[in-house]
Amino acid sequence: MSNVTEDNSNLVFNRFTPKNLTPKQCSFIQKILKKYILGMFICKKGGDILYSYQIEHTLKIDLISNFIAALSMFGEENVGQIKRIFIEGINIEMNIVSKNDLILVSLFRPNMIKDHLEDEAKKILNKFYSLYKVQIEQGKTNLSIYLKFDDEMCHFILGYLTRIGAYKENYEELK
């Protein structure tokens, strides 16, 4: 389980066992993530969710996945052009990146720094595809197959937070 000892329903890393992170570092990252990120998922173009990482559990990612899949039915060119969707009533932005017949959707609050977000999403999709190419090509959609991606996702999130300068704040006190 997690390195952070708090109520599991409130943990960002409740499925993760991050390597090379102290409990204080996990706690710090958790605070940053809860402030900005609501979740992310990787799905096939048809809408089948392969991997999800959800912080805000009230979001219905299966419905969002189907919505994104419906958009992709208009053609790959259209989904490629849709990079960000803002949902005003619930104050959520969605960043959408498509590659290798996979779609990565990041759900976040509008006040999040978006620098390098698309680059990082492409890296995530490349890594996911390289690790699970065989399973994806065989059409396997059992989520348990892809849960092992948690550790990779944790490192991508940490890398992104470091890249935008959010993680190095107070870093010395976390050692």
This prediction has a pTM of 0.79
Taking residues 87-111, report their average pLDDT: 86
Q: Nearest 10 degrees: CA dihedral of 62, 63, 66, 67?
A: -140
Q: Would 175 be classed as within a structural domain?
A: no
Q: Would 1 be classed as within a structural domain?
A: no
What's the CATH number where 78 sits? 3.30.450.70
Q: Would 51 be classed as within a structural domain?
A: yes
CA angle (73, 74, 79) in 5-degree steps: 90
- More confidently predicted of 174 and 113: 113
Q: Would 63 be classed as within a structural domain?
A: yes
Predicted confidence at residue 122, as pLDDT, reads 93
CA of residue 45 relative to chain centroid, distance: 17
Residue 127 lies in domain = 8-168
Predicted confidence at residue 10, as pLDDT, reads 41
Average pLDDT over all residues of the chain: 77
Q: Would 123 be classed as within a structural domain?
A: yes
- 49-76 pLDDT, tens digit per residue, is 999 988 877 888 888 888 887 877 665 5
Considering the chain, what percentage of its residues have pLDDT values greater than 70? Answer: 77
List of residues 6+ apart from 130 with CB closer than 8 A = none
Q: Would 106 be classed as within a structural domain?
A: yes
Kind plus residue range of the DSSP H or E element containing 77: helix 76-81
Predicted confidence at residue 2, as pLDDT, reads 36
Q: Would 114 be classed as within a structural domain?
A: yes
Predicted confidence at residue 63, as pLDDT, reads 86
Predicted confidence at residue 3, as pLDDT, reads 37
Instruction: Say how many domains are in the chain.
Output: 1
Predicted confidence at residue 1, as pLDDT, reads 35
| Spatial separation of the C-alpha atoms in residues 12 and 80, rounded to whole Å | 30
- Band (153; pLDDT cuts 50, 70, 90): confident
Q: Would 2 be classed as within a structural domain?
A: no
* β-bridge pairing 92-99 and 84-87: antiparallel
Kind plus residue range of the DSSP H or E element containing 33: helix 23-36
**For residue 100, what are the CA distances in angstroms to 84, 89, 154?**
19, 32, 22
Kind plus residue range of the DSSP H or E element containing 125: helix 117-137
What tokens does 138 get?
């065989």
Query: For the chain, how far is it from start to end, CA to CA, in angstroms?
Result: 21
- More confidently predicted of 159 and 169: 159
Predicted confidence at residue 7, as pLDDT, reads 43
- 28-44 pLDDT, tens digit per residue, is 777 777 788 888 899 99
